[in-house]
Amino acid sequence: MVLTLIGLDIGLSLWKQRSSRIEKWLDGVPQVIVENGRPLKYRMDMARVDEQDMLVVARALQGLERMDQIKYAVLERSGGISIIPQHRSGA
């Protein structure tokens, strides 16, 4: 059983090296889930992320308190969320 899993892991990693299409299918791609302060509900639902989760991350990473302060939020392949703030006027 263990050898089968190790074999599958090695086989899939070799397969991913040869085809970026297979890599994207297996590992996924980063997805924008908030754009210009507007949550993209369909993508957020698919990723099982809600607005409160987004605001927790925005406060922790960037000190942002409101959704309209977020230019983009990106759900990374690793499962983490990257926050890009709106440009602040006068800064």
Band of pLDDT at residue 88, cut at 50, 70 and 90: low
Q: What is the mean pLDDT of residues 52-65?
A: 91
Distance of alpha carbon 91 from alpha carbon 88, whole angstroms: 6
Q: Is the pLDDT of residue 18 over 70?
A: yes
Which range of residues forms the domain containing residue 65? 28-85
pLDDT of residue 37: 92
Is residue 70 over pLDDT 90?
yes
Write down the pLDDT at residue 2: 83
Interval 19-46: pLDDT, tens? 777 766 666 788 999 999 999 999 999 8
Confidence of residue 16 (pLDDT cuts 50, 70, 90): confident
Residue 71, domain member (yes or no) = yes
CATH number of the domain that residue 61 is part of: 3.30.240.20
Checking if the pLDDT of 91 tops 70, the result is no
What domain count does the chain have?
A: 1
> Do the domain assignments include residue 53?
yes
